[in-house]
Structure 1
Amino acid sequence: MNIMAHEENITVQYCFPENNSSCRKEVRTGPAYIFIFILLSCVSVCTVFLNLLVIISISHFKQLHSPTNLLILSLAVADLFVGLVVMPVNIMQLMDSCWYLGKVGCYISPIINFLSLSASLFSLILIAVDRYIAVSDPLLYSTRISVCKMSVFIILGWSFSLFYVIIYLYFNDHFHQSQIRCYGECVLVIKYTWVIIDLVFFFITPCSLILILYSIIFKIARNQAKAVRAVTSGVSNSQRDKVSKSSETKAAKKLGIVIFVYLACWVPVFISSLTAESVTSVSVIWTIFGWLNYMNSSVNPLIYAIFYAWFRVSVKYIVSCRIFESSSSRFNLFPEHH
């Protein structure tokens, strides 16, 4: 029961006073809630801003039109939807217990939510596969992986994600809305069977695949560093060891960051979902751990784009509005290559 208390008197408000079947409204106020709303709003804005920078950079500059960057672009588009649609909708529900977007909005919102998260996860897997191929067979990479082939894989990934989300919501009776008790409510209840299915297909399997691929990548990187150290001539042993250890350290750090962020954002929500016979979208635990998933969309552009020098250069062109120059798409983002 949603009740808003004002000092000693308790005043019941309704989401839609003119409707007799309207839900009761709970307005969350106070310094703590205001701080949370401001913080989450800033996270949403930063998520949109960072992913927009990635999307504009890769789309505008021709030097960045590569298969690997297409995957980063796909990831940024998925994460953009999280920051632009999913986060604001969830903030709205935190501020006010009522649902003001109607039945159509209630149908579409979970689709966008799960599609964004699924497509983001699928992009992470493709990035791991792409890096594995690039490291294990660098000489044949350009012949095996092309922009056209990668575009097809991305389209298939988004299509599969959409198909899975629709099936997922359909078998959880989302489109029937039988769990809605009053007008102004939008609740999603996930059956325990589908919690297990989701755990296997969207956590255990992709997590295992990413861990295995990045472990192999790290092992190959170490072997390549040792090979470089062995064939290097005219350099002192201490210098060779320093270069090799530096390469291994960078690879280990990047591997560690990728795995840590992925697990930190996904493990809690799946563990908590196993403790209940069904999961409801209005539960406190689901809300908290759901936001951990959303935070992954904020961190992804930091991991997969900001660590690259070309991104820092492209951001300078974007912020200074130089991208509006006629030849800006051909700007050199890799000055060290000249």
Structure 2
Amino acid sequence: MDTQDVAELCFPQLFNTSCKKPAIPRSIVMFSYIVLSSISFLTVALNLLVIISVSHYRQLHTSTNILLLSLAVSDFLVGVLVIPGEILRNTACWTVGQLTCLLYIFVSLILTSASVGIMVLISVERYVAICDPLHYPTRITHRRVKLCVCLCWLCSIAFSCLLVRDDLHQKSRHNSCIGEYDLHQKSRHNSCIGECIFQVDFIVGVFDLILTFIVPVSSIVVLYLRVFAVVLSHARAMRSHVTAVTLQQSVTLTAKKSQMKAARTLGVLIVVFLLCFCPYYCVSLIGDDFLNGSSAAIVIYVFYFNSCINPVIYAMFYFWFRKAVKHIVTLQILRSGSSEVNIL
């Protein structure tokens, strides 16, 4: 091996097993760092505003907002942990160790599964609110929503543990300080030192595809098709009776309009989520060879970019979020009794 080939390795002293440095032009690397770092910063900042708003103001402690708070926590962690890890994983050698890679993959799996689960819970909550409003107060209580959110996170952790169980066992038997990670059990010997690979064998891949894509996405689509059918029905009914309403009917119509507006807003949230979420799994069905190229990074970034878009959707459709951000930025939140302020 000549001097030039050695210089292109992540670990020249381990030239027999070291990966080559990513062959990416420096200008593209710098551009990627700037863009992705900006996205990471915005993701952290915007979701932190959502977390502070929903946690602080008592009026915002609703069942719907509890779900949005959990989603914001997941998106916040994506901005803090996952996007920086993806920048390192796709633009440079992985030099921070095998254990760090394992933890990174583990956290990524947890956040992905939790986000999908929360989206399903949001769909269920909207379905009950629109399609069965009389039983909504008794079926969708704060306690039940919090319990469902906790179960969602616990199931995500358990599911991720199953995916990385074999690799964790392998790590305990072969402790190494240089980063190498490969979830593909049948081709572990083909991996090289200096990379953090996320691959699964066929059986695990099918299992993951069913539980984190086919079942939840099908549930979300079916529930929201039903929700929007009812929303359209209510809208036609209100237009036909708009000229003849009593005061009591007006209050009822206002409540229905509020519920339908919430359904539309959360519908936009879910549609954007599906647009960002589906490409990875759709492309993965084509084959691993396609995913191993630059397309893999693109579809992964598109998915994680959704974490930055969600707070923007809140700002566009929720007046309470814009008002809460104004209170936070102007430090009115620090005043005594600010949690009781009328924010709606």
Higher helix share: 2
Q: Which residue of 2 aligns with 1:201?
A: 211
CA distance in 1, matches of 2:274, 2:26: 33
Given the superposition, is the C-alpha separation of residues 262 and 99 from structure 1 closer, same or farther in structure 2, using an over 3 Å criterion?
same
Q: Alpha carbons of 1:256 and 1:324: their partners in 2 closer, same or farther (altered >3 Å)? A: closer
Q: CA deviation at 1:17?
A: 5.7
Which residue in 2 is equivalent to 1:68? Answer: 64
Shift of 1:320: 0.8
Note the residue ranges of structure 1 that are not aligned, 5 or more in a row: 236-242
Q: Per the alignment, in what secondary structure is the counterpart of residue 243 of structure 2?
A: coil
Task: Rate the CA distance shift 1:202–1:49 in 2: closer, same or farther, 3 A.
Answer: same
Where do residues 76-225 of structure 1 align in structure 2 (5 Å cutoff)?
76-96=72-92, 98-170=93-165, 173=167, 176=170, 177=181, 179=188, 181-225=191-235
Which stretches in structure 2 are left out of the alignment for 5+ residues?
171-180, 183-187, 246-252
Shift of 1:282: 5.6
Q: Are 2:119 and 2:270, in contact at CA under 8 Å, matched by a contact in 1?
A: no
Q: Secondary structure at the match of 1:111?
A: helix
1:42 to 24, 38, 45: 38
Structure-1 residue corresponding to 2:240: 230
Partner of 1:238: none
TM superposition shift of 1:106: 1.3
Shift of 1:145: 1.5
CA deviations over 1:282-327 (Å, ceiling 9, x no partner):
6422221111111121222233565211000000011111111121
TM value normalised by structure 1: 0.82
Q: Is the 8 A contact 1:135 1:220 kept in 2?
A: yes
One-letter amino acid of the structure 2 residue matched with residue 129 of structure 1 = V
**Take 2:28 and 2:18, find their aligned partners in 1: how far apart are those partners?**
28
Identity %: 37
Give the counterpart of 1:52 among 48, 51, 54: 48
Output the amino acid matched with 2:285.
L
Instruction: Select 1:264's aligned residue among 266, 275, 281.
Output: 275
C-alpha separation between the residues in 2 aligned to 1:189 and 1:232? 57
Asked if the contact 2:66/2:146 (under 8 Å) is kept, the reply is yes
Instruction: Classify 1:313/1:255 alpha carbon distance in 2 versus 1 (closer, same or farther; 3 Å).
Output: closer
Q: Name which of 295, 318, 321 aligns with 2:328.
A: 318
Are the aligned partners of 1:221 and 1:251 in contact in 2 as well (CA < 8 Å)?
no
After TM superposition, give the deviation of residue 227 of structure 1 in Å: 2.5
User: CA offset at residue 175 of structure 1?
Assistant: 5.2
Q: C-alpha separation between the residues in 2 aligned to 1:88 and 1:169?
A: 21
Partner of 1:240: none
Q: What SS does structure 2 have at the residue aligned with 1:49?
A: helix
1:19-70 deviation digits (Å, cap 9, x = unpaired): 6765443474433332222111111111111111111100111111111100
Question: Which residue matches 1:239?
Answer: none
- Secondary structure, counterpart of 2:112 in structure 1: helix
| Structure 1 residues 183 and 280: CA distance shift in structure 2, 3 A | farther
Contact 1:189–1:279 (Cα < 8 Å) also in 2: no
Q: Relative to structure 2, which stretch is displaced further, 25-34 or 52-61?
A: 25-34
What is the distance in 2 between the residues matched to 1:26 and 1:174?
Answer: 27
Alpha-carbon distance in 1 for matches of 2:96, 2:6: 24
Give the root-mean-square deviation of aligned CA atoms: 3.2
**Structure 2 vs 1, CA of residues 305 and 145 (structure 1 numbering), >3 Å: closer, same or farther?**
farther
How far apart, in 2, do the equivalents of 1:17 and 1:326 lie?
Answer: 60
CA distance in 1, matches of 2:323, 2:7: 55
Q: 1:254 to 1:62 in 2, by over 3 A?
A: closer
Report how far residue 332 of structure 1 moved: 1.0
Contact kept? 1:15, 1:22, Cα under 8 Å? yes
Change (3 A) 1:34 1:301: same
Aligned in 2, Cα 1:89/1:280: closer, same or farther, shift over 3 Å?
A: farther
